Structure 1
C-alpha cells in the first residue's frame, strides 16, 4: 500500500487525492542525495512521507547555508505553482526516508485540474516563503545556541524520532557557522540535560526545555503553518 503520510496530500478531497496519487511513484530518499540544483530545470516534485530535505542557498564564496526544511508537512518543487520551472535552491536529503514523486508535466496538469490542490499549495507556498524569511533573519540576529535548538526541534519534528544522526561538520554547514561554535553550543545543551550527543548521534532528552532554549523563530514558523494549513 502506498504511504500517503504527507499532510498536503491528506488535506485534499478524496477524489483529488486519488488523482494525485495516480501520477506519483514511491521513491527512496537517500541521505546526502541532491535532488535539485539552483538554476536547473525541475524534473520532479517530491512529497516526503518519511525523512526530510534541506533547502540550501549557495554563493560563490561559501558552500551555502540552510534556509528551509521540508518533511511530510510539505513538498519540494513548490515554485511550479507560480509557473516557474527553474529550481531556486539546492535540495539536499538530510534525513533518509521515502517520498511520493511526480514528473513536472504530470504535476502541472493535475494542479490545473484541481482548484482544491491549487488553494492548498498557494497557502503552502506562503508558509515556505515565511520559513525562508525567518531563517535569514534568524541567521543574522540570533546566537548560535538558540539557532541550534531551533534546528534540532525542526529536525525532530520531521524525523518523527527523539534520536537522529548528524555530524558537527554538517551542523556547521547547515547553520553557516564554524565547527567550534557548534561544539560549544551543543556542549551547553548537553550539560543542561536537553540533549545527548555522542559520535554524531543526537538524542533529544527534554523537548520542552529545548523549546525554551530555542529562539522565537521556531514558534513563529509553527504558528504560521498551523494558521494556514
Structure 2
C-alpha cells in the first residue's frame, strides 16, 4: 500500500486507534471529492493519485487553488468545526485514499492530540499555499505557471507522465485553451515535455523546474518548514 505523509507521522498508538474506524476508497479521475459550499462528509488522506482544489464563480470555469496528494489531506478544515467546504476537490489522477467520516473525525480529534497537531499545521500550510497561488496567478507568466502546475502533478503521481487535456489545463490555470497550447508548445519545443493525445510526459524534470516560477520551490520548502517533520521526511516529500 502507498503511504500518506500525515498518517506516517502520527504517533503509533493514535494510528492504531484510527485505522479501524476509517476505510480505503478508490479515487476515480474526474470524481468530485467535495463540492464547494456543500457539506463535507469526511476527510480523505490520499495514498496514491492527485486531487485539485478548485473554486467556481458564476459564469466562469473552475480555477485551481491548490493540489493535494500523499503529502496532505482533503477536508482538513473539519478541524475548525466547519462542515461546509469552502472549495471543491476534483480527482486529477486516479488512485487511492484513506477516508475518515466527519463524525468519526470529530471524536478522534478529542482523543488524539497528534492528529490535531498535524492537521493544524497542514491547514496553515494550505492557507499559505493559497495566498502564494493568488499572487502567482497575477504576476507570473502562463509558461512558468504551466511548468509549475505540471511539476505539482508529477510530484503526486507514479512515473513521469499523466493524462491532462488542453481543456483541463486551461480550466485549472484560468486561461483560454489557446494560451495553454502556446505555453505547452514552448515547453515541448525546449525538450522539457512531450504532449500529445491528452498525455503529458516530462522529459527533463530539472529543465522544467528552471522554467517554472519560484512558487514551486517556495511551496515545497514551506511544506517542510510548516509541518516540522523529522529530517528524514525531506527525502520523502515530492
Give TM class, smaller chain: over 0.9
Matches within 5 A, 1:128-167: 128-167=126-165
Q: Could you say what secondary structure the match of 2:107 adopts?
A: helix
Q: What CA RMSD, in Å, does the superposition of the two structures yield over aligned residues?
A: 0.9
Q: Where does the alignment leave 5 or more consecutive residues of structure 2 unmatched?
A: 228-238
CA distance in 2, matches of 1:23, 1:4: 19
Cα distance per residue 1:182-218 (max 9 Å; x no partner): 0000011001010011111111111111111100110
CA distance in 2, matches of 1:5, 1:180: 38
Q: Where does the alignment leave 5 or more consecutive residues of structure 1 unmatched?
A: none
Cα distance per residue 1:60-100 (max 9 Å; x no partner): 12022000111010001111111111110111111100001
- Give the conservation status (yes or no) of the 8 Å contact 1:72–1:158: yes
Q: Could you say what secondary structure the match of 1:100 adopts?
A: strand
- After the TM superposition, which segments of 4 or more aligned residues of structure 1 sit over 3 Å from their partners? none
Give 1:100's aligned residue.
98
Q: CA deviation at 1:160?
A: 2.9
Cα distance per residue 1:14-50 (max 9 Å; x no partner): 1111112111111100010111111111112101000
- Give the conservation status (yes or no) of the 8 Å contact 1:38–1:87: yes
Q: CA deviation at 1:228?
A: 2.1
Aligned residues, how many? 227
TM-score (norm 2): 0.93
TM-score (norm 1): 0.97
Residues 196 and 4 (structure 1), Cα distance of their counterparts in 2 relative to 1, 3 Å cut: closer
Q: CA deviation at 1:4?
A: 5.6
Residues 179 and 85 (structure 1), Cα distance of their counterparts in 2 relative to 1, 3 Å cut: same
